[in-house]
Chains A and B, each alone.
Chain A
Amino acid sequence: MTDGALARGRATEAAPSTREPLIDVRDMTKVYGEGDTAVRALRGVSLRVQADEFVAIMGPSGSGKSTFMHLLGCLDRPTSGSYRLAGQEVSRLSRDELAAVRNRRIGFVFQSFNLLARTTAQENVELPLLYAGVPRDLRVQRARALLQQVGLGDRLGHRPSELSGGQQQRVAIARALANGAPLLMADEPTGNLDSASSAEIMTLFRELNRRDGITVVLVTHDVSVAAWSNRVVTFRDGLIIDDRPSAEAVPRRVRESMLGTAPALEARP
């Protein structure tokens, strides 16, 4: 974590595969504002993520993690640089095209859940399907199956206010999966949760990654959360300064204490 250039060098070594990466970001920059008040949130970030990787992004506050996630999630456009998602250049797409990419190809999970209040879990999960133009009966069926998958089969008609934080986040994950996106992005998904709920959510992410081959990129401040991933990317001052397998990045003690809880959960069908 000391030498940025070295870290970047290692990042390329870490992904020597000839497969087309799912995420291929080159020299991405993001500047907020103009002139004297301009903030250079990202100052030239390059990152490749292969399909079915599980990447944790860490780094101090203000280092540009969320900014980067929003760009990866196609919620925003970079100031410069390129972003190829599954081979398609998406950094210069129009608003409507970006909406379609968000709808079909990316599932986004937020720290604050962002469920629609006074709307049932079922309807929240249906939301992306609604914008995808999926017919009603199919929508209902798929949302129900997803909620069952995240362990909320008995909470379909509950509103967010009637669910615990962990349950709300699972609804949000079900929603992110609704359109069968191969990529799941999460910005501090456990930030508002206690450690037990965090472990549940992380188990779910790993299950989705291992069993369904969904690529997961998540931001966390918590090393014990990063322990669930298989790659840790570290940001500082708008640059990637470190990128290594979590086996190296996360202290062994943390990994063992966290993952010790996992097999029981993982045994779930």
Chain B
Amino acid sequence: MSIVNLLRIAWQALRRNITRSILTMLGIIIGVGAVITSMAIGAGAQAAVLAQIESLGANLVVVIPGAITSGGVSLGTGSRTTLKLPDVDAIASTVPDVAGAAPYSQTSAQVVAGGMNWYTVIGGTTPSYTGVRSWSVAQGRFFTSAEVDQAAKVAVLGNTVQQNLFPEGGAVGSIVIIKNVPFRVVGVLAPKGQSGFGRDQDDTVMVPITTLLDRLTGQTWVQNFFVSAVTPEAVPAVVDATERLLRLRHHLTVAQPDDFTIRNIADVQQVRLATSQTQALLLAGIAVVSLVVGGIGIMNIMLVSVTERTREIGLRMAVGARGRDILLQFLVEALTLACLGGLIGIAIGVGTAQGSSALGHWPVIVSPFSILLGFLSSLLVGVVFGFYPAQRAAALDPIVALRYE
């Protein structure tokens, strides 16, 4: 018997009991819908975290000052003044596998340009920062090492600051006033968007670290070092070597603890990645459970259907249907149920993913793979749970089946 005829027979049988067919499909619909939605949300979250890692800078290691312990009370990480500018140069020049190292300190201030003003974060650093933190310049240029050495009064604006201070453009070459100090704008950074922590990374102004320390904060220490390793694999070694180098430079004895903390940003993000993966896995588990429940529903209805149609089966056998014809008939019927449910589930899953993305403002990615997976799993459910009832139908004895009341 051809597949066309099998499909027609299945379709007629299912149409005969539309309500029952739809109710039977519900489990599969929910299961496949959950597969698609969970994979879309999982993939979206993962992509977002990866994009955040990307925007932080490749293979990033952050050095912050250690906590001061005063009489057993910790004053918090970053409260010490142990990080000095020459430390950065030492890291960049002596630690192996370092792609770049940049100091970073910041303060908040009102920036004035002409009639406009904007309260923002002023970051002080060196030109290495662009490479380490993956920044690029959209207009003009970044400041140079020479300008850092001279503590030149030059600034590079973040995109947000530029838009607010120079809505008509023409930022490069203009003068901005920060804490009564005039800075010449030499460049504008390319936009980067939100950080992983929801902060607008483009809402900043960059100046040479020396200028920041001398003119704006009056500090002699640096708040952070950003160090980037050449490869992700090199990160742990860079962390170790940096720690050893800084201990040496800070003249710490074996008994003394580090007066700084080294954080591997990728690790932090990996944890978040793993969390999102766990969530996706949980959802996938729910999807599998409802697929199985849906499959049991199909098996149940197919068993009922086989019993109801025992005489039909007997008759078909009497006019020449072989066991295999009957097996195929009921298997195709179960498969049709499962696949229809699967297709509806895919539609609903995609809809739910897009809808929740629009409502909840989180990223989703509906991959062709997840759609394929959803469809194949409904197919699998149809075969696995349709086989037993179909097998029972095929094993019927023609006479017994014909006489069945």
Q: Is B256 an interface residue (CB 8 A)?
A: no
Quick one: which of B5, B315, B321 contacts A99, CB cutoff 8 A?
B321
Question: Contacts A116-B312, A133-B1 given: A76-B319 contact, CB under 8 Å?
Answer: no
Please determine whether B320 and A131 come into contact, CB atoms closer than 8 angstroms: yes
Comparing B76-84, B294-302, B322-330, the segment that makes contact with chain A is: B322-330
Q: In the complex, what distance in Å separates the CA atom of A143 from the CA atom of B2?
A: 18
When the two chains form the complex, which single residue of A76, A116, A118 contacts B399, counting CB atoms closer than 8 Å? A76
Which residues from chain A contact B323 at a C-beta distance below 8 Å?
Answer: 95-96, 99
Distance in Å: Cβ of B316 to nearest Cβ of chain A: 7
A70 within 8 Å of B by Cβ? yes
Residues of chain B within 8 A of A178, CB atoms compared: 319
Pairwise interchain contact A128-B322, C-beta atoms closer than 8 A: no
Q: Do A131 and B321 form a contact, CB below 8 Å, given A114-B311, A114-B315, A116-B312? A: yes
Is A163 part of the binding interface, using a Cβ–Cβ cutoff of 8 Å?
A: no
Residue of B nearest to A67 (CB): B399
Chain A: residues with Cβ within 8 Å of the partner, total of: 26
A108 CB-CB contact with B under 8 Å: yes
Is B16 a contact of A99 with CB atoms below 8 Å? no
Please name all residues of chain B whose beta carbon is closer than 8 Å to the beta carbon of A99 when the two chains form the complex. Answer: 317, 320-323
Does A203 interact with chain B (Cβ within 8 Å)?
Answer: no
> For B311, B312, B315, which residue has the most chain A Cβ atoms within 10 angstroms?
B315
B316 in complex: contacting residue of A75, A95, A127, CB < 8 Å: A127
Is the Cβ of B316 less than 8 Å from the Cβ of A131?
yes
- The complex places the Cα of A95 from the Cα of B317 at a distance, in Å, of 10
A131 touches which one: B325, B397, B398, B402 (CB < 8 A)? B325
Contacts of B321 in A (CB 8 A): 99, 131
| Contact of B237 with A by CB under 8 A | no
CA distance A131 to B9 in the complex (A): 13
- Which residues in B have their C-beta under 8 angstroms from that of A116? 312, 315
Check: A205 CB closer than 8 A to any chain B CB. no
Complex CA distance for A116 and B5, rounded to whole angstroms: 16
B234: Cβ under 8 A from any A Cβ: no
A114 to B310, CA, bound (A): 12
- Does B318 contact A108, Cβ atoms closer than 8 Å? yes
Q: Which residues of A contact B (CB under 8 A)?
A: 70, 73, 75-76, 95-96, 99-100, 102-104, 108, 110, 114, 116, 118-119, 127-128, 130-133, 175, 178-179
The 9 closest A-B pairs by CB, nearest first: A103-B320, A131-B320, A128-B319, A99-B322, A96-B322, A114-B315, A75-B398, A76-B399, A131-B321
A-B contact pairs, 23 of them (CB 8 A): A75-B318, A75-B398, A75-B399, A95-B322, A96-B323, A96-B324, A99-B322, A100-B320, A102-B317, A104-B320, A108-B319, A110-B402, A114-B314, A116-B312, A116-B315, A118-B12, A118-B16, A119-B12, A130-B5, A131-B1, A131-B322, A132-B320, A133-B2
